[in-house]
């Protein structure tokens, strides 16, 4: 089942740059739902469903809480508002948004487990693996009109619509979520190939989409460097193993 969900996720991601308007908005939500389902099902099948439930509580619950605080008070990301393009909202936050934290948190956690052994080093690497993805996500979603920043300065070169505070906030939150996840006992996962592939696919397809299809060369470069510090060593390790 995990394989079918992963395949459907990839197909949805391929379709994103090929659509526009309402169809693209719907596909955005569908992609998050499919990717989140892939992560949750994989966690359940490899670690048990009680573990998967705690994983969702930490990532989706924590993600929703921090988004509500972010929308209301501008902490820790900076001041921003969501549009009405991503479905129903609660306290100003689209309900699909917490699942975006969940969908990438699981592969990020597994990737870090492949690269390092120390518990706290794994927390930091996993936090970076998750937060660096947002260097792609935020410019793409802002360009699509799903949210906007009220004060996007200072920003990365060529990505003037997203403030630097957002990336700092992402790293803080991502590390906090991974630290909470590290407190959950888990067995060794010897069947994480699908999630490794999804992480690498997300990296490579994001670079390609931003550079070629979406007209976002600056985030293609910045995200390629940031997320590449995890994705490239992972790819090398997988090739050598």
Number of domains in the chain: 1
Residue 149, classed as helix, strand or coil, is strand
H helices present in the chain, as ranges: 2-15, 21-47, 49-56, 62-73, 97-115, 119-131, 134-143, 164-182, 193-208, 217-240
pLDDT, tens digit only, all 241 positions of the chain:
899 999 999 999 999 999 999 999 999 999 999 999 999 999 999 999 999 999 999 999 999 999 999 999 999 999 999 999 999 999 999 999 999 999 999 999 999 999 999 999 999 999 999 999 999 999 999 999 999 999 999 999 999 999 999 999 999 999 999 999 999 988 776 789 999 999 999 999 999 999 999 999 999 999 999 999 999 999 999 999 8
Report which of 165, 177, 180, 176 is spatially closest to residue 70, judged by C-alpha positions.
165
Helices 119-131 and 164-182: angle between axes, nearest 10 degrees: 140
Structural domain that includes position 75:
2-240
DSSP 241: -
Give the DSSP H/E element, type plus range, for residue 190: none
């Amino acid at each position: 089942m995990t394989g079918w969900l992963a395949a459907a996720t990839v197909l949805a991601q391929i379709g994103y740059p090929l659509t526009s308007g309402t169809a693209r908005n719907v596909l955005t939500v569908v992609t998050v739902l499919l990717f989140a389902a892939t992560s949750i099902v994989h966690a359940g099948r490899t670690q048990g469903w009680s573990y998967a439930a705690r994983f969702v509580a930490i990532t989706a619950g924590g993600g929703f809480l921090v988004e509500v605080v972010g929308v209301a008070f501008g902490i820790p990301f900076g001041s921003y508002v969501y549009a009405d393009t991503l479905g129903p909202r609660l306290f100003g936050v689209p309900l699909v948004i917490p699942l975006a934290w969940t969908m990438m948190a699981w592969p990020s956690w597994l990737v870090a487990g492949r690269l390092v052994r120390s518990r706290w080093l794994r927390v930091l690497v996993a936090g970076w693996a998750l937060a660096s993805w947002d260097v792609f996500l935020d410019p793409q979603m802002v360009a699509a009109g799903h949210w906007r920043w009220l004060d996007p300065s200072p920003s990365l070169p060529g990505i003037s619509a997203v403030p630097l505070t957002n990336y700092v906030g992402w790293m803080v939150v991502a590390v906090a979520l991974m630290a909470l996840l590290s407190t959950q006992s888990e067995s060794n996962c010897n069947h994480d190939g699908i999630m490794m592939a999804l992480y690498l696919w997300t990296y490579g397809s994001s670079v390609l989409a931003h550079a070629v299809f979406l007209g976002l060369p600056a985030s293609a470069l910045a995200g390629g460097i940031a997320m590449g510090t995890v994705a490239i060593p992972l790819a090398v390790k997988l090739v050598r193993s």
